[in-house]
Chain A
Amino acid sequence: DAGVTQSPTHLIKTRGQQVTLRCSPKSGHDTVSWYQQALGQGPQFIFQYYEEEERQRGNFPDRFSGHQFPNYSSELNVNALLLGDSALYLCASSPTDRPNYGYTFGSGTRLTVV
């Protein structure tokens, strides 16, 4: 049973560019959340998608946007990249009927902005 898969694993971008990160949730999970983990910090909630709609959003600017597809997979888009966007981006999935029994996290995408 594949868990949460994220691609790519590593990415280097230049300031001002745009980036798209991808996530496939665990089988049976229909809710996807995205987190940003800066070096030495805990993950920070970006937003959550369910039924192809953004259900909740954390304290991140509009440069961060997302999408969920009918197969529950999701994308995170970041426009006008800043050096401070360098971080590990984690995707987490959960089943809607049991969301609080713990989210399953992927291994993340390491984004470096130069």
Chain B
Amino acid sequence: GEDVEQSLFLSVREGDSSVINCTYTDSSSTYLYWYKQEPGAGLQLLTYIFSNMDMKQDQRLTVLLNKKDKHLSLRIADTQTGDSAIYFCAYGSSNTGKLIFGQGTTLQVKP
């Protein structure tokens, strides 16, 4: 089936690291993404990882993929108040054109 699970809410202090977790069910997923959505805005692609990778680092962002457990995480180092938003995990397959999204994790960053 097609399903993506995320925790709903995460609160951290400014300067701390944030870790947002996601699990998915589709074993054919080939590409996994993290999107950010700020209030009243569309989705902004943060980063992506291919299923043949274990880790990807992009400045303050680190993505870890455990394909065996179908678990994806996004770590944001030195979290800033501007990082407050909803973060969506999504996956796509090379065989289809659609993305399957989780319900989003609201990240609250306290000063």
Residues of A within 8 A of B (CB): 4, 31, 33, 35, 40-45, 48, 50, 55-56, 58, 90, 92, 99-108
> B96 contacts A105, CB within 8 Å?
no
A102, B48: Cβ atoms closer than 8 Å: yes
Query: Could you say which residues of chain B place their CB within 8 Å of the CB of A105?
Result: 35, 42-45
B42 touches A42 (CB 8 A): no
Report whether B41 and A107 are in contact in the complex, using a CB–CB cutoff of 8 Å.
yes
Q: With the chains together, A63 CA to B57 CA distance in Å?
A: 43
A72 to B43, CA, bound (A): 20
B52 at the interface (CB under 8 A from A): no
- Does B94 contact A106, Cβ atoms closer than 8 Å? no
Which 5 pairs of residues, A with B, have the shortest CB-CB distance?
A42-B101, A45-B98, A105-B43, A107-B42, A102-B45
Inter-chain contact B97/A99, CB cutoff 8 Å: yes
User: Interface size for chain B: under 10, 10 to 19, 20 to 34, or 35 or more residues?
Assistant: 20 to 34
- In Å, the complex CA distance between A24 and B87 comes to 25
10 further A-B contacts with Cβ under 8 Å, apart from A56-B98, A100-B92, are A33-B97, A40-B103, A43-B43, A43-B101, A50-B97, A101-B48, A102-B33, A106-B42, A107-B42, A108-B41
Bound complex: CA A79 to CA B37 (Å): 28
- Residues on A with C-beta less than 8 A from B96 are 56
For the complex formed, measure the closest distance between the CB of A101 and the CB atoms of chain B, giving whole angstroms: 7
Residues of B53-111 at the interface with A, using a CB-CB cut-off of 8 Å, are: 88, 90, 92, 94, 96-104
Q: Is B4 an interface residue (CB 8 A)?
A: yes
* A42 contacts B4, C-beta separation under 8 Å: yes
- CA A102 to CA B4, docked complex, whole Å: 18
Please measure, in the bound complex, the distance between the C-alpha atom of A103 and the C-alpha atom of B44, giving whole angstroms: 9
Give the contacting residue for A42; candidates B41, B44, B92, B103; CB below 8 A.
B103
Q: How far is the CA of A101 from the CA of B56 in the complex (A)?
A: 14
With both chains docked as a complex, state the minimum distance between the C-beta of A90 and any C-beta of chain B, in angstroms. Answer: 6
Contact assessment for A42 and B102 in the assembled complex, using a CB-CB cutoff below 8 Å: yes
From the candidates B4, B40, B88, B97, name the one contacting A55 in the complex (CB within 8 A): B97
* Residues of chain A within 8 A of B99, CB atoms compared: 33, 35, 43, 45, 92, 103
